[in-house]
Structures are given as structure tokens and as C-alpha cells.
Amino acid sequence: MEADEQHILSEDEIELAEQNNTSGHSSREDEEKKEKLQLTPQQLEDIQTGPEGLESAEAHRRFERDGPNELPEKRVNPFLKFLSYYWGPMPIMIWIAFIIELIRLSYIDFCVLFILQFFNGFVGWYEEKNAGNAIEALKKNLAPKAKVKRDGEWTTILSRELVQGDRINIKLGDIIPADSILGPGFAEIDQSSLTGESLAVTKFEGEMVYQGSICKKGDLEAIVAATGSNTFFGKTSTLVGQATGNRGNFQKIILKVTGILMVVSFVLVTIILIVVITKGNAFLETLAICVVILVASIPIATQVVCTATMAVGAHALAKRQAIVSKLSSIEELAGMQILCSDKTGTLTKNQLTVKHPVALKKNTREDIFIIAGLASKKEAASQDAIDKTIYEYATKTLEIKFDHFEELEFVPFDPSNRRTEATIKDKVTGQIFKCTKGAPQVILRMSNDPSLVDEVSKQVQYIASRGYRTIGVARSDEDGGWDMIGLIPLYDPPRDDTKETIQKAKQMDVKVKMITGDQLAIAQETAHILGLGDKVYNSEVLNTENTIAQKEVVNKIVEEADGFAEVFPEHKFGIVKILQEMGFRVGMTGDGVNDAPALKQADVGIAVDGATDAARAAADIVLTSAGLSVIIEAIYRARKIYQRMNNYCIYRVACTVQLLLFFFITMCAINPSRDYDCKPKDPKDTWCDDVPNTFALPVIAIVLITVLNDGTIISIAYDKVTVSQKPEKWNLTLMFFNSCTLGSIALVSSIILVLLMLMHMDHEDPSDFFKGFDISTFTYGEILTALYLKVSISDFLTLFAARTSRFFWTRTPSKILIFAFIFACFVATIFSCYWWLNVINDSSSIPNMESISWRLAGFIWGYDIVFFLIQDTVKVLELKGIATYYSYAGKESGYTGQILRDSFLNFNSPAMQSIVKKATSSFFQMPS
């Protein structure tokens, strides 16, 4: 059991608390407490609030005076924030290239590099700006609320609207909305998030509780003493996003991929720099080319593309009222293998219904509900679920009137004794007696009537076997003893879509485990109704010593179990942690403060509709509408998003392989002026004199390739992908292998073409290959332009091979992706046929690029398409071979064969059909 859950009030402590509550305090004691609280004169004046609470006008005046109950946010200069996107490892490398080109007076390269720098910075700023807007929207939706009494009426308002002197209600599970002084009663407060104390502390009347701490026990009123920046710890009232600093699995994958490419790129580019300078080339020009090659090789747009991809999915889920507070949780959701779920309020409606009360001895059903109703809170705003159900059944179904009873004292439900108690006076007879309701075993022990033991035990067991919760009811007799008068079965029905949600989760190969604090019999019946399975265990199986043998037994039980009953928060936390230690990706759904530790620990924490502030603060995804079906849609969409990110990584690594190795081989191994003959058509032409000793594309060409690649690939966030029937898992070995294959084939085609074209510079002895296509000999400038077009088109086509594990035509790409492809190819082709980005620069050893003919452009298109078909065929054969190997080795390849269709999201239950129908108009506007 966690430390903050271990402390339970003893009977002596409870008695002391009751004495404190009933005896009151002298004015001297009050003054001493106020001095200890160190309140300002203004605060002392403000907290003199009567039992009716503040008047609305006064509350408004104080709000205008003190401002909202939130900390002032540190505002960053938007201009400086924008400039920050132009500082960092990658921007610095572009600035270096920028300065080098400025020194060399290469104005075109200078301008294009500036455009590249601006483009990358602007996209990063724009994506984070959108993410910031999403977080603001999230805060508005998840803003904690407080129950406050104003003008004599209890109402619920946003915590930010509280003012000093407000009379608020604090109960189990609430996050304290402002620094407040407790009224009559006592509470256990978890201050660990503020002070680091592991144990919850007991607070009594007149003591201060601080904003941001959590009520673990109690139900009482308090007076707000400080708000906003005036709170003692200066903490914000909302805990949304408290886990922001944690690096998720997705960030680790991106860093690993980028790190590998960066190391390889630095090594090869360093070799290129040394070799080319050794040949006698100009240092500044060579350095500029090497820096730009490095920029083109490292996937600088990876984070932007993947963030945009996840943001598209998060926006679609928001349309279905599922708010994603941490984008990386979407990737975690795609690989989720086990979903642990709380029962009450999550799998079930948390709407209790009375089922066939059991009267004991000569009592009647009316007798039971008169006593049970008196032992319940009457004010709707202060009632819990059980009080509300019992009181409404008594007053509406049985039409019982409570007018002639006067409540002298009421003790709310306390987890330590598991019952409520009220002291009542009958106005007609003047009789004073006590009423109580609570756990039947507790009530039975209080009655001390042996004749009832067998009957009550059998009834409780039978009621529990039906999946019902049982409430025992008793009243005091004339001697002060207790008479048990009956049992009230309460039934919490499953949500309308729960059973179908569980079935669909199983179809997605996600194991659902129910974790509940209810009795074992109730848990077993609920599991049977929902089709979860019959392996439901008591939490006692988890309470073993940590020997290796026992740990293995516990691990096996936890892995195979369909559910656990009679668990405490530490059990939920422990179950999640055990599954994670066994290598499973675990999700957790819940709604209560007792679920918060497990929600925080899980890879994906999901707070359902109606969850407490503590549960929502700990969760990664918050559902704001009834029902669980949106979880299935979230998993479905997450697997789509994973596929898009995986496809992008394959494509980007393949592009790096082609670009980096192409320049490495050509610049280090090819010497055009020494190894190839050059004779122009017209003997008067002197361009052959400019053929260099190193083959390299100008900086401008490399930058254009980078800009068009990065600009086009963002469209992959909207691409059509398949959805795997099994949880997704990153396989970087397979991803790099596949990428290297695609990139190597494109590389080979580029090397072959550059060699053939260099052989075709000699007009007297042209290449037979190009003669067969009736293409005249090239100038060196035309070769550079042709290679620029070849590499550009090859990169764009590689995307279509990277986006599917089957042949490229087996899945139609999205319209946005097709448009981006056409646009990028059109621009590259027009640039090649009408090249104009040259500037006279005598210091350059690389000749200017020249426009090529439409015939040559068409040939390059055909050449690239042929090698693309080879590329795609080799990919399919390779992946089939790898899948066969993995199958024989008993491993998962990462490429799943079985897929799900969009029709899988259709639910058959009437309630779900209604929900889906309402959301259809907005939902299907989102990309598939």
C-alpha cells in the first residue's frame, strides 16, 4: 500500500474529531489559530462569511479587486519566441552555409538558403502555436470546478472564479481549489504534490488546506482565505499537463533515428570534405556544399511532420469529445496491448438503482427507507451516488415524507468505518434516535444480534452473486444499542456500449482487465455479463513476498487474469507496474481519485466522463462524453497515425541513404575532367574547359531538393493507411533495412545515370545508350540539371514505395498527398526545363546549371519510373522474405497481415448509434 494511503484514523482520533466539531472553540482559540495562519487584515476581514455564503454582488466586487483564482502566466514576447526557432543545431548549420555563400557573393544560393531557413523556422513556430492553442482549449475544457455557496444556494463554478471569503464544499477526491480554512469536521489531505510529504495529513476545523492538495477523506465546508498568486505555495489550481516534461516512447524513437542518421552523416560528410579539399578545390565552396549536404541528410522536419500527424488525429478525437492532453500518448495508444479498467463509473454507468429491498424481522420496506433516508444527505448538491439513489427512491417511489423529522447531527460517509450516521429528533413524539447505513458487515456487527448473522450473510452473498451492492440499515433502540432492520441491494448497470466495446477491443488484440474495489462475487457477475472472462481474482493473490518464485507466480496470475476484485489504489498501481515490467504496453481507464496513481503510471491513462479533477490531471486522454466506444476509435486512429509516422521514417531514411551516399560516391570517386572525354558539337564552345575534377551539384540544387522534399512530406499526415488488427510495435532494425533497400536502389539508379551522362559529353563518340533514345550529347551544365531532376523525382516516387508494405497500387493515396506530389514534381520539372537560378561567380569551380530539353526531362521521368517499379518489387519480395524468416523464428515482423476497415467503428447498440449519428457530420470531415 502506498504511503499516502496507509494512514487510517483510529477510533480515538475520530472521537477527538467529533469532540472538536461539537464542542466548538473559544474566541481566544480562534484568534490563536488565525495568528498561526498568518492572515493579512484584508483576509481576516474577508473570511467573516456567514452560513448563507457571499452575496453575488460582493463576490463580483472581490473578483474585480483580486482578479481570477489563477497564477499570472509568464508572457513571452511573441517576436522573441518566433526568433527562437532560428537558433539551434540545425538552424546554426544553415546560418553557417548562409554566411559562407555571402562571403563567396553567391547571391542566389544566399537567397535560397534564407528561404529554407525561414521555411523551417516558420513551420516549427506554426505547429507549436497550434499545439499551444490546443492546450489552451484543453485547459478550458478541463478547468477544475468548485462547489460554492452564494446567496444561500449551493452552485458549481469554475475554480478561477472563486474569491476570498467564498464558502465551499470539500469532499473525497476533490483537488482543493484555493487556500481555505476548514469548517466543522475533519479531513485527510494529500499534500505530496506541494510539500513532498508521503503521508496524508489530518486537518481539523480552523486549519488551513492548500490549493493543489487532494482530499483523501472527509466531507465538509471551508472558507476561501487566499486565491491566485496570494496562495501560500503559489501553485496553480489546475494540474493539467503536470507530466509535460516526461519523454515518451515516440520521442525516444525519433531521437534514436535522428541520432543514427546524424552520426553517419557527420562521418561521411567529413570524409567528403577532406577528399575534395585534397583534390585542390576551394575550401569555402567545398565547406558550403558539405554543410548543405549535411542539412539535407539529417531529417530536420521529422519532429514537425510527426507532430502534425499526431495533431491531426488529436483534432479528430476532439470532435468525438476525447481530449488528448499529451500528443505522444497517441503513439503509445497504437501499441497498447492491455487495457486495465476501473468498473464503477467506467464500465458501468455509476447510476445506482434499488433492487428488491430485504426487510429483517417485522420491519417493512417503508421502515427501511425511512431510516436509510434519514441517514442520507438531503441537499442535492451535497449528495453522493448512494445518498441520491436512496433518498429519491424513498421520496419519489415510496412517497415518504420527512417533514416531521429534524436532523440534529450528520456524520458523512467515512472510508475508515464505511458508514454514515445521523442523529434525528421526531418533532411529533420528541424522541431522539440515531440512524445509520453502510457496509452490511459493519452494520451487522453493530447490531450484535446473533439471530441475524446467518440470514444476513446468506442474503448478502446471494445479492452479491447477482452483481449487486448491498447497503445495511439500522437504528438505535431505547438503550442506545443498534437494531438492524434491512438490506438495500443497489445495482450499477453497465454502460450501453461497454460489452460491445470489450468485444471490439478483443478483436483489436487488446486484452481488457477489470479492476474494482467491489466484492469478488460482484466482480465475477459483472465480468460474466460483459463477456470479459471467468478468471477474476481477489486482490489477496497480489499480497505475496517478493521472492523470485512467488513473483513469477504473481506475474503469471496478473497476465492471465480477466479481472481483480476488492483492490485498493496501490493494487491498481501495482498491477499496471507488473504488466509494464513484463514488457506490455498498458492503458488504464478510471474516474476516481483512487485511480489517479494507476492512470499516472500507465503508458496511456484515460479518464472517463465525470472523472474527478485528480483523475483528469493524471490522465493522458480525457473523455468528456458518456460511453467507452471512443476508446476503440482512439486506438483505431492511433494505429493509423503510427502507420503514417512509420511510413515517413522509412521514406526519410531512404532519402538520406540516396542523397548522402550519392554525394559521397560521386564527390570522392568520380573525376569528370580526368576520366571522361569532352568534345562539344561546336569546336568554338569552351564549356569543356570548365569541367571540374569533382562531381557535385551546386548548393542551390541541393537546397531546392531539401525544400521540396520537406514541404511535400508534411502531406503524409493526411495519407490513407491501413489499420493493423494487432497492436503496433516499432521495429527499427526492419525499418532501417527496408529504408536502406529503397534508398540503395534509388542510389544505384542515380550513379548509373551520372556515369552514362558523363560518357555522353563527347560529341564524336557519344554514349550508345542515349543514341538509342535519340538524345543529343550534353553539356556539363545540362548533366547537373538532369541529375537534379533525377534525384528530385526519384525521392518523390520513393514515398509511394515507402507508404505500403505491398505493391504501391494496392492502396490509393490521399488527395492531399497526390496534390503535393504533383506540385513538387511540376516545380522540379519546370525548374529543370527553364533553369534561371544562375549567377556569375568566378570563384566557383562548379559550372552553372543549364536548362534541359523536354525530351530529356521525359526520359528522366521514364527512367525514374522504371527504377521505381524495380524498387517497389524488390521491397515486396524483401518484406515477404523477412516475414517468412520472422515466422520461422517465432518473432513478430512488425508488418501485420490482417487489417481493419472503417466499418469496424460502427456500433450496433441503439445508444451508440444515436451518438455516432450526432457526430457523423463532423467526424467524417476529418481525413481517413
* Host H or E run for residue 385: helix 385-392
422: left (phi over 0), alpha (psi -120 to 50) or beta: beta
C-alpha cell belonging to residue 383 = 449528495
CA angle 572, 578, 584 (to 5 degrees): 110
Q: Crossing angle for the helix pair 629-669 and 249-278, nearest 10 degrees? A: 10
Q: E-assigned strands of 257-393?
A: 322-324, 338-342, 353-354, 358-359
CA nearest neighbour of 709 among 786, 789, 792: 792
Q: Rounded to an integer, what distance in angstroms lies between the CA atom of residue 16 and that of residue 662?
A: 82
Q: Rounded to an integer, what distance in angstroms lies between the CA atom of residue 636 and that of residue 722?
A: 10
Q: DSSP string covering 127-167, please? A: HHHHHHHHHHHHHHHH--EEEEEETTEEEEEEGGG--TT-E
- Residue 589: phi and psi, rounded to 5, are -115, 145
Q: Rounded to an integer, what distance in angstroms lies between the CA atom of residue 592 and that of residue 190?
A: 15
Burial of 250 (0-12, 13-18, 19+ CB in 10 A): buried
Query: b/e string for 28-43 if b means 16 or more Cβ within 10 A?
Result: eeeeebbeebebeeeb
For the chain, what is the largest distance between any 2 Cα atoms, rounded to a whole number of angstroms? Answer: 128
487 CB-near residues (< 8 Å, 6+ apart): 357, 358, 360, 368, 440, 456, 459, 460, 463, 470, 471, 472, 473
Q: Which of 166, 342, 595, 795 is catalytic?
A: 342
Q: E-assigned strands of 518-677?
A: 536-538, 563-565, 586-590, 604-607, 621-623
Q: Rounded to an integer, what distance in angstroms lies between the CA atom of residue 63 and that of residue 56?
A: 10
C-alpha cell belonging to residue 381 = 448538491
608 DSSP assignment: P
* Host H or E run for residue 190: strand 186-190
Count of CB atoms situated within 10 Å of the CB of 227: 29
Is residue 414 part of the annotated active site? The answer reads no
SS3 681: coil
Place of cell 478561477: 160
CA atoms within 13 A on the CB side of 466: 14
Active-site positions read 342
